[in-house]
Amino acid sequence: MKNMGKTDRTLRLAAGTILIVLAVILQVSARQLWWLGIPGLLMVFTGSIAFCPLYVPLKISTRDKQEE
């Protein structure tokens, strides 16, 4: 069940990619990885599958009716 629209997905994929690239460029330590790399990976993952588990209990969907 997808609950993300195109704009939401695009923003998540872009932001996640930027966080991952920053983590690699800055050569972050394991502790810092939690602040850059992990959120970046989660954003890329949720953006790629078009589903955000946090949207479910909040009953949020950024998906247009046309995309269904």
At 62, the pLDDT band (50, 70, 90 cuts) reads: very high
| Distance from C-alpha of 54 to C-alpha of 13, rounded to nearest angstrom | 17
Residue 30 has phi, psi (to 5 degrees) of -60, -40
Residue 58: pLDDT above 90? yes
Query: What does pTM read for this prediction?
Result: 0.83
Question: The tokens of 40 are what?
Answer: 């970046």
> Between these two residues, 40 and 23, which has the higher pLDDT value?
40
| Distance from C-alpha of 8 to C-alpha of 6, rounded to nearest angstrom | 6
